[in-house]
Structure 1
Amino acid sequence: MSADVVAGLKWERPRLDVPAAVGEEEVTGIFRFTNTGNDPVAIMRVRSSCGCTVPALDQDVYAPGESGELKAILTVGERAGPQRVVLTVNTDSPGHPTTRLIFQTNIPEVVKLRPRVQVWRQGSARDWREVSIETDPAYTVSLSGDSEADFLFDHELNPVPKTPGSYLLRLRPKGTTERSQTKLIIQVKLPDGKKAVSTIQLLIR
């Protein structure tokens, strides 16, 4: 029996490399299969190695000769760069109950933040810190305005003169007497109206 026949299911491609476009909120991979056995096969469970990816089936039981699709839906969020997710499929077919499917994609980095974490010591002076932001000059960068960090920190976001696509973000806490950990949300609007988000970790400890 070939390596791609598992639990009576023959998988068209057990490994998928799916390209991701800039600004996409989700990346979807579709694993197609056929029940090549003589008995119905029930898919009992599909587990994902990452909470960012949700598996989805149209049905659980497939008759002999019947084909189906398993979708793997990855939520992009703040992720960037290469992503690899393993889907483990468990069925009720004796002898071949389990198979592993590989879902890979490479998410374009929309914005670069340096540094991504700023830390103040508890009780220290309310000094300003700076974060460098770089993106495509065609994109628009802004702050969300509704995160917890907007109430705990002063901030100034300004474009860098004569450097399209570059911004300087200045930050300082409104107080340092209490420990806190929060995120400031950076929004990037693309020319087609799509949005991407990234965050800066802000800590007082």
Structure 2
Amino acid sequence: MASIPNPSIHLSQSPKPTFISPKLHNTTIKPPNSDQKVVIHGGLKLSGHVEISGSKNSALAVLAGTLCCSGASKLRNVPDISDVRTMVSILRSLGVRVDTCGGEVVVDADGILSVDPCCEEVRKMRAGFFCSRPLIARIGEAVVALPGGCDIGTRPVDLFFNGLRALGAVVELRIRRAVAVACVPDFGWASHIESVDKLYD
């Protein structure tokens, strides 16, 4: 599959908020099931600006997507948070060069050395599984651990597997080795795209 050359992406941000004078005076807020409390001393005019960082969910998906690209991909306004740092570690475990400076991240995926990202890093968050699809698109194979992440209810990854199978991939679940995904030789992505709709019937 042909690689996409040298994209430069700026993650969108919301307009800077306008602050208004609060109407609350000396309000106490106590979070449920907690001994902590927040005391707000109101009645004073607030003004100024707050820097709004880019979206975390967008940043994680775009970082994984850089695996499809040749050359350097530059992302701007990327939030400096733990999930983003974990995704950077996942990319580096594949042999990808990643340079970060402030809110800017430069990814050079020309040197991919592995299709097996670090299991410990992948298991830290759900988005760790995102790198499987660009690896399949570019290399033709991926071996990825089952994703982890916060416990906010059942979030099965079957939809990911079904989508890959509908596009012509073979998905195999291995005990202790998490997930192995390999593409069928001479698969045709375009000829299978219509079958993805059947997943939502």
Structure with bigger RCO (C-alpha 8 Å, 6+ apart): 1
Instruction: Give 1 or 2: higher strand fraction.
Output: 1
Interval containing the TM-score (normalised by the shorter chain): under 0.3
Using the size of structure 1 for normalisation, the TM-score is: 0.25
Instruction: Give 1 or 2: higher helix fraction.
Output: 2
